[in-house]
Structure 1
Amino acid sequence: MRSDAIAVTGIGLVTPAGLTAQDNWAALCQGRSLAAHDPLLSGLPCDFSCQVPPFDAAALFGRSRARRLDRFGHFALIAARAAVIDSHLDPRSWNGERVGVVLGAASNSMQNYNSEFSQLLDGYPSRVSPLALPRSLPDTASGEVALDLGAKGPSFATAAACASGAVALSTARDLLRSGACDIVLAGGSESPLAPMTVACFAQMGAISRRRDQPHLACRPFDAARDGLVLGEGAAVLVLERPTAAKARRAPVKALLRGCGTTTDAHHPIAPHPTGDGAARALRIALKDSGCSPRDIGHINAHGTSTRHNDAAEAAALADVFGPDMPPVTASKSIIGHAIGAAGAIEAAYTILALQHQQVPPTANFAVQDGDHKLDIVSGASRPVTMDTAITCSFGFGGRNSAILLTTP
């Protein structure tokens, strides 16, 4: 393996499974979907989603900051603060000029756009909030985290569709390897649960129509799958060089050893049917880490529960791992698809699986279809002795990312 791995010393999670890493792990191991009817989506072809549990933003951030931010900004702040605490860092004493923030976001936030557009369309442009634009920009979350924690190094968003959070991790790794930063808070944050976003996914035929049984709607790799279920959330990881973590006696949770990023250059939305770009991303991550397919003890799949994406991903995994297929889980079956944050959330989940030496189950999996048979974990968590795992993220435009993680 390469010697220039990057240490993960802190994890912060905000998802439909909870506001702490402990709550998330417990929900994952239960293996039940958290999808439920969503009043904000009433009347749409899909009126259900996976929502983050309630929290008091004003109490956490103050009334002024809570009002000026959309939900994805709230999520990012909660996750970043938790990650920093988990890493035993103190922003009051670090050198902020050497601390960066890289957070993925697939789009601008649509949470408050309906009311703002209504003002404009009704002929009242003067009533449009001056906060409408700054609170919805993709880089708002990274900027607010930098402001909150005094991180004065590079701060920006990565946008690579549903691979955005994973690309943020690989970008942060490069900032550390280059010497541009000593610490990087990296991950993703997104809340796509707005009527316009849901309507768009429905019109593309990408979203499940199981309105009568939302908890059974998301079923990655299952023969009866009919589309994704939208979720929301954030994950922030604290990344630093292992020598720095050792010097301050920080708890190293995992090592980020390999990254692979490719593009299909095939179609604006659909993945390459053979999974060619996805397979190349996996092989690049393996080569980057110095690992072979046989070293991988677990795969956290992208697993959207859509017909074409699952088939392409299954083909890619079969191509790369063949008969040595490790156990596979698909976390979106439980928490839904958090779009730009998904890759970061699933990287955090992969670290938790390494720590607990368990692979959580895939919810709603019954019968696998296609020629490529994966070892899907379902029903209950599976104990696995492993020191290496990989997580996959793919997105519109044929963006593919693979992140390889190992135990310290």
Structure 2
Amino acid sequence: MHVVLVADHAAINGGQAKVAIESALGLAARGVRVSLFAAVGPVDPRLEPAGIRVVCLGQDDIATARNKLVFAAQAIWNGAARRALARELAACDPRDTVVHVHAFAKALSPSIGPALRASGLPCLYTMHEFFLVCPTGGFYAYPEQQICHRTPMSVSCIVANCDARSYPRKAARMVRHVGLTQVARLPELLSHVITISDLQERVVRPLLPPGTVFHRVDNPIAVAQAPLRDGPPGDFLFVGRISTEKGAPIFAEAARLAGARAVFVGDGPERADLAARYPEAVMLGWRDAAGVQDLMRQARALVFPSVWYEGQPLTVYEALACGTPVIVSDVCAGREAVVDGETGFWFRSGDPAALATHLRSLSDDGLATRMGRAAYDRYWAAPLSLDAHLDRLARVYETVMRGADARGPVGARAVATA
């Protein structure tokens, strides 16, 4: 089997790229021929020594682009990426190749659609976020600070100023979404969709074509099993982007109400304001993966107060693997990992008082310890390891390729879908 992974970035800069690159390395270690096609460098130095073919276009993303107007045009329709991907796929053997799209919205754009369709190769898509169905990718109205329930590209969606930055950027994203649905026709083309949570599938299923086939493949969690901590549990911990949509202000206020100490690991637009308003909170900044896991093992609980859907928040699973209870918002996908009252608590989203109630409960050392043990035992009974991820992924690839074979020769499929 030859697996061609398509992603915006060729190095780890977040959860999407981490899953794509770690799965590429894992597949290659199993003897699978792997290629990675990406727009933005640098290239992860582990890829090529592992025998993975890397095609990186050396393009910009929004963080590196010096000319924002030029990048906006690239994000709407990246012609160079379309041409380069078409050349790459034309050289693939249709008898053994499957194309797995991980990301396109940050740099590659919907222009990958015509290249995928022209190749006639079987393809699938992992929905790390919601750009395939939502023009802003998150079903979240930033000015309102709440989940958006509008139908994508309906009149109410079009007139809504829901973008994190400005309505003109929302307008550019809507133009891109028209290209995605009407020109590239990606929702029809990517008829096999991997979801990473039950909530995610429930949200997107009504918005995708009726023939869409959904596959559940959990992301791998990179935590090594270690003994549970000795001694009493420590502080309540927040890990991630310190922002409104992640619920950071809710945690800070709840901790004050409960008389608990809030410890933040990460950075983001709300950090300075929260540090000024809540001087009792501890701001540690970013830590490497090992440092974060050490803090999790010492923590009383991880607090995950996100007020939007999320996909599959890895920090929740990492905390459980470390033997740390999790207090999670009841609207986000992280709740699926937490057994309410056993391995942590759910709380009413956006409500600091409700969160404070659970902080007070877990101030009891005995309860925090019992819940930590339950979290640890439950996670390690069926860990989300890289091997488990790759096993499931291999079965999905086989299903997708069998379905393509049943539809007839590649040439006929390409003509039929052109």
TM-score, normalized by the shorter chain, greater than 0.5: no
Higher relative CO (CA 8 A, sep ≥ 6), structure 1 or 2? 1
* Structure (1 or 2) with the larger CA radius of gyration: 2
Q: Between Structure 1 and Structure 2, which shows a larger proportion of helix residues?
A: 2
Question: Taking structure 2 as the reference length, what is the TM-score of the superposition?
Answer: 0.30
